[in-house]
């Protein structure tokens, strides 16, 4: 009775350990070692049911000093065992019969047992000098009584004499109880793993959908996680400076990478006509073509006036020549003006006040529409858009774009993240904030942000500067990007400590070699980078 109580206590201890273990290989070893200890078995094998076959997951034999699978580092080379052979159920093998019948098989001596084929067992014994005798084989059933695997124990031993004996009824009951707990633990672990895979696939699908939504940001959501983690690892490795205390665990890495994948999820609500606005006059279509038509009308009207005037001057060659020169001058001016507007329509880094004034002067000209009405050459909306100094977005559209981060925060804060992902909304929602509080949407200052959020802000800026898929600019060279970011550091827009690590540890170069076009990677003079102290 005392021994039985000890074994029951041992069963309880194993059950508690099984429920606490999250690593599958360790969990498999706990099941195997626990089953052997409870039944005083010399060896055993654990199988998983995959489709219509049983695959070896762990093999253990104390007498032969064999440990395969689990955390042993030794691969199992034995082939899987099919449940169906030649179209018929495979009842000749003990483990497959166990699955097909759903019942425990307790064999006192394999060499004297009818009904099963032990050819493989005898070959193994002959090769190793082992003597397989007693067997206890039982199915692992989950909470829905579905069989997920099989555990087979070999050669029960007498605790006092050490001789091989049959597995008794108590052994079987304890083993079956353990099997039930083990199946639940394995199923739980499998469900957790499957849910994690589903979750990761889902967030990557969202990121890919956002990138695919706009041809001008393709790859952005896929590149940011890579660059963010490069920066995080560099900060983690710092052994001096303000970030030397910054450390991240595997849990922290998973949380940060998840945030990086989801940092722009709010763009699903951003209208395509704003995200894809490749020129200043683009709405559903590029209105520069409407302006081209108006200039064509002006040229047509000028030619009509010329022809009418030519009729009035009659045969006078000097008069016709004068009119001709006037027409040519007008047409050339129309051509110059339209080409100027075409250039203005392409967003750039800066549009001068002089050019903006020229746009406004051109707006004062008129043209005659098909109804014979006189209309301004440029509407107020067209003047406003053509006068955008940087990029292609006007103030209203930029507000729409900026709202994506508000949508991101709102979406992420509405999700019931588990404890290990609680910081995802904060990390993802801070990548447009600036250290001096002039960023958006919350106007946070440096001390109000986590290191992870500040990392993502640096990553987002560098990716945007180097990206070659933006509608209004080419990807900048490395030296120019680092110069711009250096000024941003001096202006207290990006975290100075992270910027120092970004440059010092050549994170920019590691990223560039993987993602940038070769012509963008130029020589870097670290001394020429503003604000970099080395």
Distance between CA atoms of 449 and 455, rounded to whole angstroms?
10
Task: Determine the pLDDT at residue 497.
Answer: 95
Whether 234 has a pLDDT exceeding 90, the answer reads yes
Task: Determine the pLDDT at residue 410.
Answer: 94
Task: Determine the pLDDT at residue 369.
Answer: 87
Instruction: List the one residue out of 25, 24, 34, 128 whose CA is nearest residue 73.
Output: 25
Distance between terminal CA atoms of the chain?
A: 73
For residue 478, the surrounding DSSP H or E stretch is helix 478-490
Distance between CA atoms of 267 and 400, rounded to whole angstroms?
10
**Neighbouring C-alpha atoms within 13 Å toward the C-beta of 200:** 11
Task: Determine the pLDDT at residue 4.
Answer: 56
pLDDT, tens digit, 9 for 90 and up, residues 352-377: 999 999 999 999 999 998 888 999 99
Lowest mean pLDDT among 64-68, 207-211, 468-472: 468-472
The three-state secondary structure class of 106 is strand
Q: Are the C-beta atoms of 42 and 63 separated by less than 8 Å?
A: yes
Task: Determine the pLDDT at residue 348.
Answer: 74
CA 72 to chain centre: 32
Ordered DSSP codes for 52-78:
TEEEEEEEEETTTTEEEETTS-PPP-P
Token pair recorded at residue 92: 């000749």
Neighbours of 333 (CB within 10 A): 12
Mean pLDDT of 399-422: 91
Task: Determine the pLDDT at residue 321.
Answer: 82
Distance between CA atoms of 176 and 154, rounded to whole angstroms?
15
Task: Determine the pLDDT at residue 347.
Answer: 79
Distance between CA atoms of 501 and 485, rounded to whole angstroms?
13
Distance between CA atoms of 307 and 314, rounded to whole angstroms?
11
Residues sharing a CB contact under 8 Å with residue 64, sequence separation 6 or more, in sequence order: 43, 128, 130
Main-chain dihedrals φ then ψ at residue 533, nearest 5 degrees:
-100, -15
pLDDT, tens digit, 9 for 90 and up, residues 473-531: 577 899 999 999 999 999 999 999 999 999 999 999 999 999 999 999 999 999 999 98
Distance between CA atoms of 323 and 330, rounded to whole angstroms?
11
Mean pLDDT of 117-128: 90
CA 317 to chain centre: 75
Q: Give residue 8's pLDDT band: very low, low, confident or very high (50, 70, 90).
A: low
Residues sharing a CB contact under 8 Å with residue 323, sequence separation 6 or more, in sequence order: 306, 309, 310, 313
Parse the chain into domains and list their residue ranges: 2-192, 214-267+403-528, 288-392
pLDDT, tens digit, 9 for 90 and up, residues 42-88: 999 999 999 899 999 999 999 999 999 988 889 998 899 999 998 99
The residue among 207 and 253 whose pLDDT is bigger is 253
Its CATH architecture, for the domain 214-267+403-528, is: Orthogonal Bundle (1.10)
- On average, the pLDDT of the chain sits at 88
The three-state secondary structure class of 218 is coil
Lowest mean pLDDT among 87-96, 210-219, 480-489: 210-219
Which CATH number fits the domain 2-192, given the four candidates 3.20.20.20, 3.60.15.10, 3.40.50.300, 3.30.450.40? Answer: 3.30.450.40
Q: Give residue 315's pLDDT band: very low, low, confident or very high (50, 70, 90).
A: low
Mean pLDDT of 104-126: 90
The three-state secondary structure class of 397 is helix
Mean pLDDT of 215-243: 88
| Maximum average pLDDT range among 175-179, 366-370, 435-439 | 435-439
Task: Determine the pLDDT at residue 312.
Answer: 75
Residues sharing a CB contact under 8 Å with residue 146, sequence separation 6 or more, in sequence order: none
Mean pLDDT of 330-334: 93
Task: Determine the pLDDT at residue 216.
Answer: 60
Q: Give residue 97's pLDDT band: very low, low, confident or very high (50, 70, 90).
A: very high
- Neighbouring-strand partners of residue 60: 44, 67
- Cα dihedral 3/9/15/16 (nearest 10): -150
Residues sharing a CB contact under 8 Å with residue 195, sequence separation 6 or more, in sequence order: none
Distance between CA atoms of 405 and 403, rounded to whole angstroms?
5
Helices (H), 314-377: 317-345, 353-362
Mean pLDDT of 100-119: 91
Task: Determine the pLDDT at residue 177.
Answer: 81
pLDDT, tens digit, 9 for 90 and up, residues 155-175: 999 888 889 999 988 888 888
Can you tell me which residue has the tokens 């483990």? Answer: 95
pTM for the whole structure: 0.70
The three-state secondary structure class of 44 is strand
The DSSP symbol for 169 reads H
Task: Determine the pLDDT at residue 267.
Answer: 86
| Maximum average pLDDT range among 172-176, 211-215, 305-309, 509-513 | 509-513
Q: Are the C-beta atoms of 190 and 198 separated by less than 8 Å?
A: no
Whether 41 has a pLDDT exceeding 80, the answer reads yes
Whether 91 has a pLDDT exceeding 90, the answer reads yes
Whether 21 has a pLDDT exceeding 80, the answer reads no
Distance between CA atoms of 352 and 309, rounded to whole angstroms?
40
Mean pLDDT of 423-431: 95
Token pair recorded at residue 529: 């980078």
Mean pLDDT of 133-139: 93
- Cα dihedral 112/113/118/123 (nearest 10): -10
Instruction: List the one residue out of 260, 251, 205, 267 whose CA is nearest residue 230.
Output: 260
Distance between CA atoms of 118 and 110, rounded to whole angstroms?
7
């Amino acid at each position: 009775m005392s021994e039985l109580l000890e074994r029951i206590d041992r069963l309880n201890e194993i059950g508690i350990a099984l429920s606490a273990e999250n690593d599958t290989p360790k969990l498999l070893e706990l099941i195997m070692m626990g089953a052997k200890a409870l039944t005083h078995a010399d060896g055993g094998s654990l199988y998983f049911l995959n489709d219509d076959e049983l695959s070896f997951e762990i093999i253990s034999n104390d007498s032969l000093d064999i440990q395969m699978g689990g955390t042993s580092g030794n691969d199992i080379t034995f082939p899987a065992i099919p449940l169906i052979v030649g179209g018929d159920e495979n009842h000749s093998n003990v483990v497959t019969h166990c699955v097909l019948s759903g019942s425990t098989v307790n064999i006192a001596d394999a060499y004297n047992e009818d009904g099963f084929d032990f050819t493989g067992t005898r070959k193994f014994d002959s090769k190793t000098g082992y003597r397989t005798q007693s067997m206890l084989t039982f199915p692992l059933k989950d909470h829905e009584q579905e069989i997920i695997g099989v555990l087979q124990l070999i050669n029960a031993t007498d605790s006092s004499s050490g001789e091989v004996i049959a597995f008794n009824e108590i052994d079987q009951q304890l083993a079956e109880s353990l099997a039930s707990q083990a199946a639940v633990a394995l199923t739980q672990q499998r469900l957790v793993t499957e849910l994690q895979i589903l979750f990761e696939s889902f967030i990557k699908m969202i990121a890919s959908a956002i990138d695919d939504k706009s041809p001008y940001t393709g790859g952005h959501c896929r590149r940011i996680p890579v660059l963010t983690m490069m920066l995080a690892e560099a900060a983690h490795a710092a052994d001096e400076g303000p970030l030397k205390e910054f450390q991240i665990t595997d849990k922290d890495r998973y949380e940060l990478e998840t945030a990086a994948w989801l940092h722009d999820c709010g763009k699903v609500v951003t209208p395509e006509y704003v995200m894809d606005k490749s020129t200043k006059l683009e709405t559903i279509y590029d209105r520069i073509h409407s302006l081209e038509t108006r200039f064509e009308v002006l040229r047509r009207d000028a030619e009509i006036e010329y022809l009418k005037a030519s009729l009035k001057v009659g045969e006078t060659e000097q008069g016709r020549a004068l009119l001709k020169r006037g027409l040519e001058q007008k047409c050339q001016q129309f051509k110059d003006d339209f080409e100027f507007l075409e250039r203005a329509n392409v967003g750039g880094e800066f549009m001068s006040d002089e050019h903006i004034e020229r746009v406004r002067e051109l707006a004062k000209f008129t043209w005659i529409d098909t109804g014979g009405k006189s209309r301004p050459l440029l509407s107020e909306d067209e003047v406003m858009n053509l006068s955008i100094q940087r990029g292609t977005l006007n103030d209203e559209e930029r507000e729409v774009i900026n709202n994506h981060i508000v949508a991101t925060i709102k979406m992420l804060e509405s999700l019931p993240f588990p404890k290990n992902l609680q910081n995802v909304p904060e990390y993802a929602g801070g990548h447009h904030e600036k250290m001096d509080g002039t960023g958006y949407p919350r106007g946070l200052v440096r001390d109000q942000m986590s290191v992870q959020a500040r990392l993502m802000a640096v990553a987002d800026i560098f990716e945007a500067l180097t990206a070659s898929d933006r509608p209004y600019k080419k990807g900048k060279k490395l030296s120019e990007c680092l110069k711009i970011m250096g000024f941003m550091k001096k202006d207290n827009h990006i975290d100075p400590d992270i910027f120092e690590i970004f440059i010092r540890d050549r994170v920019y170069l590691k990223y560039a070699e993987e993602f940038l076009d070769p012509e963008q990677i130029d020589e870097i003079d670290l001394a020429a980078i503003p604000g970099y102290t080395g």
